[in-house]
Amino acid sequence: MGNKFRGEALATINGLQMVMVMDFNAMCDMEEATGRTMEEVLTDFEQRRILSKDLRAMAFAMLHERQPKLRLRDVGTLIGEDMDGVMDGCIKAIEAAFPPAAELPKTVQELAGGASAGNPPAAQG
């Protein structure tokens, strides 16, 4: 099972259950493989205009942590056989890594509430 607070999500791809992880390492791997920022790749993904090689790099980066024996070309084969499953898994992992503020633990919400929210009173002003 995936851990949504660690950017993990369970995906069913070509009938197989796999965990996809969108963590800092996956983000770095994706940027390194694509030569683009994570924001650029995710924006293209969200708008359904992602390059095939970027989708493969993104899916590989998310799958590799928990399925280390998968090769880049294996991920390309998975995409060719079940693009919907891969896309759904990517969406779930991205949503787990970047949840809406309402889904964050309360302490994180408080810290995200403003620049001074987590500072002691003496430091606020």
pLDDT in tens, 10-66: 999 999 999 999 999 999 999 999 999 989 998 998 898 999 999 999 999 999 999
Q: Show the tokens assigned to 82.
A: 């079940």
Q: List, for residues 80-94, the tens digit of each pLDDT value.
A: 999 999 999 999 999
Q: List, for residues 106-123, the tens digit of each pLDDT value.
A: 665 565 565 544 455 555
**Cβ 18 vs Cβ 27: under 8 Å:** no
Torsion angle in degrees (nearest 10) through CA of 106, 104, 37, 18: 140
H-run or E-run covering 104? none
